Structure 1
């Protein structure tokens, strides 16, 4: 067997919250063949399987039975280049930010607003990750996934993925699809998205009047480093709650009570509320109970100060959800995936 099955492994190094739980078995697969073999072994032994990448979108609330399959495949290639539009494919295990920097180094624009988002390329379509006015769906050119039900590979188009706000078919059908590689359509001529004031402001502070895609990436990295703690220094999974979508009438009613409400009208008539603003208004910013807390600078980020368990982080999240629902009538939804499922 080419696989290295590791028994009774701590998953602390494999999740950005730094939660110290154990897996019955761990495999780190560096090829599609190893992924297929690992799934076959798990099926033969009737083990449940948890697939992980960078571990940046996980809240591990207990030990993980069966097999944890870490996708560690690497590789970036250019598939098509007409002189302007370039299709780039990356293996699922590529670190996301490294991939973004690689494309910028090739003179390709498009991914710069998604700089410094933790995780891997394979996880990006699952969440339809987005930041500063850009989402994965805006640059998506297809992906290859393994159907764990049939064992066959399938090519997904933009329509097939059913992308929504932090959503996709891969989240809607949990446990079925394992993303193997993803393709993006990038441009040699930059069409910069500078819709968000903080980005323009940071560029102005840097004295950059005519920014390049790399300039935008550097500005966004600077902003994110100021706002978000580094998981290597303080365990976290980035933004813990989705920005909730409410109907226009509810948003207007909230605005009457809270004139400073941070809200963004959507194309479908609904309104996206800033979850971080709601949490801060409710007084949770900087809150700490034991080693589980809300970051002192960014109320959307829950943190592990060292020895917090996943259950303690979950309890804090549930307390925040209940308080926001009571105060504002708004239900917050977690972004990280909770394991084991409860």
Structure 2
């Protein structure tokens, strides 16, 4: 336990020093050093910092909400709110993002806390998939990004709604009464929660303690995800994508992979997608917009902190399959 905490402290100290040097130190006197450094390394550095700083506020908000749920929400409250019929619960949960828009970076710790409080896995996955994409912020950004084709915003949210319901249905089939959370974390949190009850510490102190614990366990996965994503974005040869654009089915798979590895925020990815609209088919653009908002590389590493790896891989495969099939059917009949 001491070794684990020590490693986390070292990681955060290194990151802090890196950010401090990047933000506060004047590197103008070292311009000759920058000229000698490879251009790719400088690009990777810029992308990594921007990804991390963009995601960090949303992760922190998600952790704060998660900690409040962990301390103040009782398991019986969750069971009272949710409809008894699983299929009927899908629709209101899928639309909750319209009143609570949360980026995909912040939704993972929130879903984990809800699952620990008794929310079924299939409902939690609907929540996880829908909130980052079915919300007014994403709709507005998509609408403005595709001003020449404003129906893209409606298509994105409409098809995403269908995808979310299907993901929930298949998760219900495979994980109706199964635990998808990492066992060691869950046991540690339960022990910690009992300790707080017996020591009669205030709930505010417990929230702060939980925020600290969640932040340490989540940040290292965010750093790894942002680093790998920055490498991919730096060395991606976009000319290869153009050669694949004429293959409708293959281009959809390529664009989903692109959305996954670029790890763009769901509130801004539409502007990147719009830049491909003259090259790729609408079906491929929709696959990029829907899949990338539900799961990406950065988010995958964050899920590894809370969910079993087998479940994470199944969720990625299930999401990719459903998005591909739904967009293909739409392209076939419309």
Task: Please say whether Structure 1 and Structure 2 have the same fold, judged by a TM-score greater than 0.5.
Answer: no
Using the size of structure 1 for normalisation, the TM-score is: 0.26
Using the size of structure 2 for normalisation, the TM-score is: 0.26
More helix by share: 2
